[in-house]
Amino acid sequence: MTNEDQRKQGKISEIRIVNCLPNHYSAFKMLNEEWIKRYFLLEEADKKALDDPEGYILEKGGKILCALEGDLVLGVCALMKIDDENFDFELAKMAVSPVAQGKGVGYLLGLTIIETAKSLGATNLFLESNTKLKPALALYRKLGFQEIEGYSSPYERSNIQMLITF
Q: H or E stretch including 48?
A: helix 44-51
- Taking the C-alpha atoms of residue 149 and residue 108, their distance in angstroms, rounded to an integer, is 27
Percent of the chain with pLDDT over 70: 92
Q: What distance lies between CA 18 and its chain's CA centroid?
A: 13
Q: Which of 109, 108, 111, 77 is nearest to 95 (CA)?
A: 77
Q: Which of 65, 58, 99 is nearest to 80 (CA)?
A: 58
pLDDT digits (tens, 9 = 90+) for 100-125: 999 999 999 999 999 999 999 999 99
- Taking the C-alpha atoms of residue 145 and residue 75, their distance in angstroms, rounded to an integer, is 20
From residue 57, give the alpha-carbon distance in Å to each of 60, 105, 118, 119, 150.
6, 22, 17, 17, 25
Q: Could you tell me the domains of the chain?
A: 3-127 (3.40.630.30)
Please tell me the predicted confidence (pLDDT) of residue 152: 84
- Taking the C-alpha atoms of residue 93 and residue 28, their distance in angstroms, rounded to an integer, is 8
Q: Which of 151, 166, 48 is nearest to 113 (CA)?
A: 166
The whole-model pTM stands at: 0.90
pLDDT digits (tens, 9 = 90+) for 132-149: 999 999 999 999 999 999
Mean pLDDT of all residues in 27-36? 98
Q: Edge-to-edge, what's the strand order for the sheet holding 89-96?
A: 15-19, 63-69, 72-81, 89-96, 124-129, 160-165, 146-148
Confidence of residue 18 (pLDDT cuts 50, 70, 90): very high
Confidence of residue 13 (pLDDT cuts 50, 70, 90): low
**How would you write 108-121 as a 3-class SS string?**
HHHHHHHHHHHHCC
160-165 and 124-129 strand pairing? antiparallel
